[in-house]
Amino acid sequence: MPKMKTKSGAKKRFKLTASGKVKAGQAGKRHGMIKRSNSFIRKARGTSTLCEADARIVKKFLPNG
């Protein structure tokens, strides 16, 4: 069997932690900051872990981690 390829879009957006959770950047910070509250902008810094349902979908695109 041939090797499974990693989706290149997924490898740019997601990382797997050592325990197998999926880290992703926070959404909603590309444009339109004037509409967003300062507290939203602060909370959306950095990365967060995806919920288990979303992580299951993403792991299909990252076969090797």
What is the tens place of the pLDDT at every residue in 24-47?
A: 999 999 999 999 999 999 999 999
Which residue range is the domain that position 33 belongs to?
8-60
The predicted model gives 39-64 an average pLDDT of 95
Structure tokens at 36: 């967003």
Residue 65 in any domain: the answer is no
What is the spatial distance between Cα 43 and Cα 45, in angstroms, rounded to a whole number? Answer: 6
What is the spatial distance between Cα 24 and Cα 12, in angstroms, rounded to a whole number? Answer: 10
Helix (H) or strand (E) holding 22: strand 22-25
Say which CATH number the domain at 52 has.
Answer: 4.10.410.60
Residue 1 in any domain: the answer is no
Number of domains, the chain: 1
Residue 48 in any domain: the answer is yes
> Mean pLDDT for the chain?
94
